[in-house]
Amino acid sequence: MNLSRLVPASGKVRAGLIIAIFFVLLAAFGPLLTSYSPQASGTELLQPPSGTHWLGTTQTGQDVFAQFVYGARVSLGVGLVAGIISQIVSVLVGVIGGYFRGLSDDLLYILTAVFLVVPGMPLLIVLTGYLPSRGMVSVAFVIAITSWAGSARVLRAQTMSLRRREFVEAARATGESRTRIVFSEIMPNALPLIASGFLFSVIGAVLAEAGLSFLGLGSLTTTSWGSMLYFAQSAQAFLYGAWWWFVPPGLAIAVLGAGLALINFGIDEYSNPRLRTGKSRGRATRTSGPHAAALSTAGAAAAASGVDAPGTAPVLHEDGVGEVAGTEPSEGAAAAAQLRPIDVAGEPIIEVRNLKVDYPGIDRVVHAVDDVSITLHRGEILGLAGESGSGKSTLTNAITRLLRNPAQVTGGSITYHRTRARPGGSRGTDPGSAESIDLLGLSTEELRGYRWDEIAIVFQSAMNALNAVTSVGAQFDDVLRVHRPTMPAREREALARTMLEKVGIDSDRVSSYPHELSGGMKQRVAIAIALVLEPDVIIMDEPTTALDLLIQREVLDQVMALRDEYGFAIIFTTHDLSLLLEVSDSIAVMQRGRLVEYGPALEVYAEPRHPYTQALLASLADMGALV
C-alpha cells in the first residue's frame, strides 16, 4: 500500500518543486523582465494583455505584469519571513513542551490551545487594525503570531510519541545528555513534520497577507498580490470583466499553495532513509509478510550488497536459519521436503495443491509461497510452523482470499469441500452431498457468502482486530445480519450472549467496548465471533502469541474444548513449535516459502527428518523449552 502510493508521489513532488522554483525565480528575476514600475500610472487605462503590456493595465494605467512580478517578491517574502518565525516558535513550544513535560508543558499546551481555537483571521485583522504603521515586516510578524499553534500542536504530539520510542530511552541509558537527545535523536526524526509545518505556514502566510491586503489592511503603498486584488476589487474590475487584473495574482497564490502542498507529499520520502536504499527492503525484517520473504529468499548476501558469504564467518549473525542447521545456507541447495502421509479420520475439507504466490519485486519476483500442497481434514488441527518470512501468513491469506496487492497467485489450486446443510443458511445443500468449490475462482460476491460461514479467522492481535468504536455486540450482529438475514434481532442478541458464555465471558459484556476488556478477554471475544456461524474451518493466526503464558493456556484449553463440541477444523499458525507439537494433529513446517516437512505431529516430533526441523527442535531444547 505504501509503495504504490509513493510511486505517483514522486511525480507530484517533482511538479511541486518545479512550481516552487518557478515562483522563487519569478520573484528574484521577474522585475528584470519589465521596464515598467509597478506604481507608475500610464495613459492606457484598463487595457487587456498586449505586446506592450503583457498582462494588460489597471484602471490607472499601471502595468499589471510589473505589479505581478514585484508583488511576487513581497508575497513570497512575507510568506517566508512569517513561515520562519512561526516555525521557530512552534518548534520551541512543541518540541520542548513535548520532551520536558511537567508544568511548563502544561502552560505551553494551554497557550497553544488558546491560539489554536481563537480564529486567526479576525485576530489578525484586529491586530493589524491597531498597528500604527503597517510595514510588510510587521505584517509578517503579526501573521506568525496568529499561525504557529497548529504546527506546535502536531510537533508536541510527535515529540511525545518519539520520546516514548525505545531509541530515546536507549540513548538515555547510554548516558546521552537531554539537550543532545532533543537535538540529535528527536529533532531529526521530527524533521519531516517541521518541514511540512514550514511549508504550510508559508502557504498560510501568503494567504493571510493576501487576505489582509485585500481588506486594505496591508501596506497599500507596497505592491503585493493581495494589494493588487484590493485595488482590483475597489475599482470593481470584475464588473468590467478585467480578468487580467485579478486572475493572475489569485491564480499565482493558488498554484504556489498547491505546489508547496505537493512537495509536502514527498517530504517523507526524502527524510526517511528507509526509503533511500531500495524500497523492498524497507519492511523486510519487520513483518512476517511478503517483504520478509523477499529478504529471506534473496539471502542476506545478495540483499545487503557487499556482505561476504556468511559461510566464511564462524558466527550465527544472520536470520538465515540454514546456518543453525549446519546446512548450506545458499539458495537452491535446501534439502528435499520431508512429506509423510497424514493419518486423520475426517474427509478432506481444504485441499491446497501446488500453490504458488508471488510478489513482484523491484528487480526480482519473490516466491512467497512456492509449490505448497497441504490437506486439511474435517476436525483436524493442522499446525503451520515457520519463522517470520517463511510464507505461512501468505499461505493462509491465500486460502482466505485476503492477499493484498501486489501478491499474486501464479499457480496451483485451493479446493473447498462443502458437505453439510446449513441450518438457516441462505443456500442449503442436501446433507451428505459433496460440493467441491474452487476457492480461487470465486467471484467477490460468491466469496462473501462463503466467508465466515465456512471459514472464520482469529487474528493474531484481537486488540487490533476488534473495532474499537463499536460494541462487542455490534460486531456479532453485523455478521448475523448479513449471513442470517431472516434471524430476528432478539435472537441475534441471544446468540451473541450464548457465544460469549461459551468462551467464558459474562454475557452482559455484549454491550462492552473492546477497550473495556483485557487482552485475554478480547482474544476470547474474537474466538466467539469466529464461532458464531459455526464454520467448518477456523484459521488461527498466532492466536496466543500476544498473550501471557497463563492466559495462553486458558485460551488454548478453551479452543480445544470448543473444537470437541463443534468439530471444526483448525489451521493453527505460530512460530512456537513446541506449542504446535502439543496441540496439533499434523504439522507443516515452512521455510522461505517452501514446505519442508509435513506429517503427523507425533511423528514429526519423534523423528524430524528435515534438517531445518531438526535445527528448530534442537534450538528449542537448547533454550530450555520442554521438548
> Within positions 9 to 68, which residues make up the interface with another protein, using CB under 8 A?
12, 15
Residues 6+ apart with CB under 8 A from 574: 383, 384, 385, 542, 543, 544, 545, 580
Alpha-carbon torsion (381, 387, 390, 394), positive or negative: positive
Q: Which of 255, 339, 409, 442 binds another protein (CB under 8 A)?
A: 255
Other beta carbons within 10 angstroms of residue 541's beta carbon come to: 22
Other beta carbons within 10 angstroms of residue 298's beta carbon come to: 20
Closer CB to another protein, residue 14 or residue 364?
14
First to last CA, the chain: 40
Give the 3-state secondary structure of residue 295.
helix
Least gap, CB of 576 to another protein (angstroms): 6
> Per DSSP, what are the bridge partners of residue 377?
348
Give 514's DSSP letter: G
Q: Is residue 8 within the footprint of another protein (CB under 8 A)?
A: yes
Closer CB to another protein, residue 355 or residue 601?
601
CA neighbor of 586 nearest in space, from 376, 386, 389, 412: 376
Give 219's DSSP letter: -
Give the 3-state secondary structure of residue 204.
helix
Alpha-carbon torsion (24, 26, 32, 38), positive or negative: negative
**Cell match 559461510: residue?**
311
Positions 455 through 494 that interact with another protein (CB under 8 A): 456-457, 459-461, 464-471, 478-479, 482-483
Least gap, CB of 229 to another protein (angstroms): 7
Other beta carbons within 10 angstroms of residue 383's beta carbon come to: 24
Q: Is residue 243 within the footprint of another protein (CB under 8 A)?
A: yes
Q: Is residue 282 within the footprint of another protein (CB under 8 A)?
A: yes
Instruction: Read off the amino acid at residue 109.
Output: Y
Least gap, CB of 463 to another protein (angstroms): 9
Q: Is residue 5 within the footprint of another protein (CB under 8 A)?
A: yes
Least gap, CB of 32 to another protein (angstroms): 27
Instruction: Please confirm whether the linkage preceding 406 is cis (ω < 30° from 0).
Output: yes
Among 84-92, 113-121, 342-350, 374-382, which window interacts with another protein (CB under 8 A)? 113-121
Least gap, CB of 88 to another protein (angstroms): 21
Q: Which of 239, 333, 336, 345 binds another protein (CB under 8 A)?
A: 239
Among 57-65, 84-92, 304-312, 412-420, which window interacts with another protein (CB under 8 A)? 304-312
**Cβ–Cβ < 8 Å for 353, 412:** yes
Least gap, CB of 166 to another protein (angstroms): 4
Least gap, CB of 336 to another protein (angstroms): 20
Q: Which of 10, 448, 498, 607 binds another protein (CB under 8 A)?
A: 448
| CA 257 to chain CA centroid, nearest Å | 26
Residues 6+ apart with CB under 8 A from 202: 79, 80, 82, 83, 260
**Cβ–Cβ < 8 Å for 522, 547:** no
Least gap, CB of 221 to another protein (angstroms): 17
Least gap, CB of 107 to another protein (angstroms): 11
Q: Is residue 254 within the footprint of another protein (CB under 8 A)?
A: yes
Q: Is residue 262 within the footprint of another protein (CB under 8 A)?
A: yes
Positions 551 through 580 that interact with another protein (CB under 8 A): 552-553, 575-579
**Cβ–Cβ < 8 Å for 367, 412:** no
Among 81-89, 247-255, 372-380, 424-432, which window interacts with another protein (CB under 8 A)? 247-255
Positions 494 through 533 that interact with another protein (CB under 8 A): 513, 515-516, 529
Positions 326 through 385 that interact with another protein (CB under 8 A): none
Least gap, CB of 43 to another protein (angstroms): 26
Residue 26, C-alpha cell as written in the block: 519569478
Positions 197 through 226 that interact with another protein (CB under 8 A): 203, 207, 210-211, 214-217
Positions 63 through 92 that interact with another protein (CB under 8 A): none
Closer CB to another protein, residue 77 or residue 150?
150
**Cβ–Cβ < 8 Å for 79, 171:** no
Positions 138 through 157 that interact with another protein (CB under 8 A): 150
**Dist CA 176 CA 104 (whole Å):** 23
